[in-house]
Amino acid sequence: MPMGITSENVAERYGVSRQEQDEYAVESQRRASEAQKSGLFEKEIVPINARWIDEETKEEGERLISLDEGIRHGVTYEKLAKLKPAFKEQGGSTAGNSSQISDGASSVILARRSWAEERGLKPIGRFVGTQVAGNAPDEMGISPIYAIPQLYKYTGIEQKDVDVFEINEAFASQTLHILRKLGLDPAKVNPKGGAIALGHPVGATGGRQTATLFAELERQDKELGIVSMCA
């Protein structure tokens, strides 16, 4: 089953309207735009020189990539409302309120503190625990509803103690359902935007979210955060 159809299933079964999805997407883009313009992503990004080839002239060159290019500055609800449904006639999921097809890479070093200190590396955070949960495949993306409460039970942490949540925005429908079901404070979720704005490079998103989380905790002078991937 295509993931886009699972997004439509979630929206239909749990009452997430097209308007709500578009409004959420606009906010994700706004947060990401403001964060990028303020330089808040710079601590998370390692610039690289990328080779390019012009398909017509075959001219080759290099370009420094130092920021995420998927963020759409100046997106409005009115613009998104004009987009056609991407997966189902009369559906609510569009190219504007779904995560982008993106390319990217990320890495995270997970090690004992002693290992890091022996190599002159300063730990930027402590891994407390993880949980994995699944759900019906025709509702792909909402498993954080089950995994996050399991994590609370496993660690003894309460939801009110969590300062920042990085939740993957595969689709606005799925993300909104998670926020509602868990009763999360929207201000604490993806404060610098999520995958709808930044993109969802499969295999790299978890590392990207982790880097974003630690940088944001430091910026806010907070301590506790959760990274959650959809499944």
User: Using CA atoms, how far apart are residues 45 and 34, in angstroms rounded to an integer?
Assistant: 16
Is pLDDT larger for residue 101 or for residue 207?
207
The pTM assigned to this predicted structure is 0.93
Task: Please name the residues in contact with 43: beta carbons below 8 A apart, sequence gap of 6 or more.
Answer: 215
What average pLDDT does the segment 16-36 reach?
A: 98
What pLDDT sits at residue 136?
92
What pLDDT sits at residue 78?
98
Average pLDDT over the chain, rounded to whole? Answer: 96
State yes or no: pLDDT of 223 exceeds 90.
yes
What pLDDT sits at residue 190?
99
Q: Each residue of 152-207: pLDDT tens digit?
A: 999 999 999 999 999 999 999 999 999 999 999 999 999 999 999 999 998 899 99
State yes or no: pLDDT of 51 exceeds 80.
yes
Domains and CATH numbers, the chain: 3-228 (3.40.47.10)
* DSSP-derived secondary structure for 151-185: HHHHHT--GGG--EEEE--SBHHHHHHHHHHHT--
